[in-house]
């Protein structure tokens, strides 16, 4: 099991899944993307191709084979670009969760996408007060602003902590990567079973801009929609997600 985290988090975002699977005998591997978590805060290389190549370096260094590769949010883009650039020879299955592919930004080729002004707002918020921005962002990330939501302060604080561990410059440059990268051609190269999980109340990566489209582009895709699910469903609905993940892993 290999996990790729979302923005602006770290591999710690997967701790519930890693503990769950390791206790059931699976080997689990997760990296902190460059500029995030405990990785080096490089000045250069904050782009999707380099992220995918970094992931390939992890696979090669650990000689990982027959892996189930799981990507959340921007990590889903990293997974897609990894397959686009390096193929699926070391993989057995793929899981995309709240993932950004195929393309988030509105353009002439993607008129139904999200306007650039939204991402400019993220850049402005990050530049004005990164710490407060992450505190505020944790609310829609986990759906804590929805009626009846039960999201602890601890979960929101953990989001803030992971965000603040990363590099300001890397996280800022990352916004362009998760908003403007086009993964259509990468998704067409998927040739192994793929599970797509997405919440229909995802306020960060709306399902209509992402999972519903990716499911049509990936040949062996299975789409599972979580009613009311937030962007942070791997935490807020971890029991359901872990069970679905395990079932997919074990599926022959």
Residue burial 99-130, b: 16+ Cβ < 10 Å; e: rest: bbbbbbbbeeebeebbeeeebeebeeebeeeb
First-to-last C-alpha distance (Å) of the chain: 16
DSSP states of 104-160: -B-BTTBTTSB-HHHHHHHHHHHHH-HHHHHHHHHHHHTTTTSTT----HHHHHHHH
Residue positions annotated with a catalytic role: 73, 202, 231
> Nearest-5° angle of CA 86, CA 13, CA 125?
95
The answer to whether 71 and 43 are in contact (CB under 8 A) is: no
């Amino acid at each position: 099991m290999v996990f790729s985290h979302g923005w602006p988090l770290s591999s710690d975002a997967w701790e519930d899944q890693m503990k769950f699977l390791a206790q059931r005998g699976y080997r689990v591997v997760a990296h902190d993307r460059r500029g995030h978590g405990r990785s080096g805060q490089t000045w250069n290389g904050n782009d999707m191709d380099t992220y995918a190549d970094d992931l390939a370096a992890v696979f090669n260094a650990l000689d990982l084979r027959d892996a189930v590769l799981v990507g959340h949010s921007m990590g889903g883009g990293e997974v897609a670009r990894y397959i686009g650039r390096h193929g699926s020879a070391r993989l057995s299955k793929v899981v995309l969760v709240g993932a950004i592919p195929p393309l988030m930004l509105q353009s002439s080729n993607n008129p139904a996408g999200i306007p650039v002004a939204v991402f400019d707002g993220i850049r402005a918020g990050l530049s004005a007060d990164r710490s407060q921005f992450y505190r505020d962002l944790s609310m829609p990330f986990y759906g804590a602003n929805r009626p009846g939501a039960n999201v602890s302060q601890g979960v929101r604080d953990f989001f803030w902590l992971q965000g603040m561990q990363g590099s300001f410059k890397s996280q800022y440059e990352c916004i362009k990567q998760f908003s403007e990268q086009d993964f259509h051609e990468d998704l067409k190269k998927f040739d192994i079973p793929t599970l797509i999980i997405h919440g229909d109340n995802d306020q960060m990566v709306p399902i209509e801009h992402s999972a519903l489209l990716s499911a049509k582009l990936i040949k062996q895709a299975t789409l599972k929609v979580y009613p009311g699910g937030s962007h942070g469903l791997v935490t807020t609905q971890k029991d359901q997600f872990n069970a679905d993940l395990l079932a997919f892993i074990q599926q022959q």
